[in-house]
Amino acid sequence: MTAQLIDGKAIAAKVRAELKDDVAAMIARVGRPPGIAVVRVGDDPASKVYVTSKEKTALELGFGSWHHHLEATVTQAELMALVRRLNADPAVDGILVQLPLPRHLDANAVLEAIDPAKDVDGFHALNAGLLFQGRPRLVACTPAGVMRMLEEIGFDPAGRNCVVVGRSNIVGRPMGLLLLNASATVTICHSKSDVAAEVRRADLVVAAVGVPKLITGDFIKPGAVVIDVGMNRTPEGKLVGDVDFEPARERASFITPVPGGVGPMTIAMLMSNTVTAAKARTS
């Protein structure tokens, strides 16, 4: 079997197209578009690429968009003061503080300072807790994007063995909870797991560890759905996922490419969360 590719670019474009009507409706209703503020600290090159792409998409959709770029030497107090200012700004519906932050800053304290109603990353403990309880409000963008991709290919997780590789707060944990909330039987693997044994039983594999080719082709159960969240740079500068793509493709039913798979979905879902937050704040 050669897997069908899941075209993240096309699905992300569909999500963005759906949002255009929401933007127009909001302007008609409250006289302004949804607004997102992105905060970037320091000069991490990958963060700069992500943030530029987020801003470009927000502007294309006609959102209000603000970018705050702070020096790497900014103090915790200064960063917290900016977050409080954005919390109080009525034109800002969504606040995103790009991670990672420089080491001298306490990222958890910053994320907890964001108004949960504006937490379009879904990283605040309140939003993470609501997801944990099965009553999600604002959900982390990458796992939300994966769920949308599964919907698009007609994969219903209910009763299926779904294996998430990675337990980060950004992807692995919320991914596991979304799948659990969709009635999957969920396994979350980490550095102490027998990853090969767990993945071999999986009807769905979501790889989110950041280790190139950790998931080799022989791990994949024939017919499984393979979602690769990994974004790793090879020494030659090529972008590769966590899955050894070509051999996995020969066994899976559906697989995401890297790039062009999950990547484009994250930003589309960020825009979707901003619309959700804007609607909730203005209704």
256: left (phi over 0), alpha (psi -120 to 50) or beta: beta
Write down the least CB distance from residue 180 to ligand GUN, Å.
Answer: 21
Q: Which residues are at the interface with ligand GUN (CB under 6 A)? A: 96-99, 121, 141-142, 170, 266
From the candidates 121, 203, 228, 242, give the one annotated as an active-site residue. Answer: 121
Closest residue by beta carbon to ligand GUN: 99
Q: For residues 255 and 261, give the distance between their C-alpha atoms in angstroms, rounded to a whole number.
A: 9
Q: For residues 283 and 266, give the distance between their C-alpha atoms in angstroms, rounded to a whole number.
A: 26
Question: Considering beta carbons, is residue 113 or 252 the nearer one to ligand GUN?
Answer: 113
Write down the least CB distance from residue 104 to ligand GUN, Å.
Answer: 18
Question: Considering beta carbons, is residue 36 or 224 the nearer one to ligand GUN?
Answer: 36
Residue with tokens 């950790």, as numbered in its chain: 214
Kindly state the tokens that stand for 24.
Answer: 């127009």
Angle between helix 172-181 and helix 125-132 axes, rounded to 10 deg: 30
Write down the least CB distance from residue 108 to ligand GUN, Å.
Answer: 13
Q: Indicate if 133 belongs to the active site.
A: no
Question: Considering beta carbons, is residue 83 or 252 the nearer one to ligand GUN?
Answer: 83
From the candidates 98, 119, 221, 242, give the one annotated as an active-site residue. Answer: 98
Q: Indicate if 221 belongs to the active site.
A: no
Residue 46 backbone dihedrals phi, psi, to 5 degrees: -65, -40
Q: Indicate if 54 belongs to the active site.
A: yes
Strand 94-97 to 254-255 pairing = unpaired
Write down the least CB distance from residue 68 to ligand GUN, Å.
Answer: 13
From the candidates 54, 118, 203, 221, give the one annotated as an active-site residue. Answer: 54
CB 244 within 8 A of CB 217: yes
Q: Which residues are catalytic?
A: 54, 98, 121
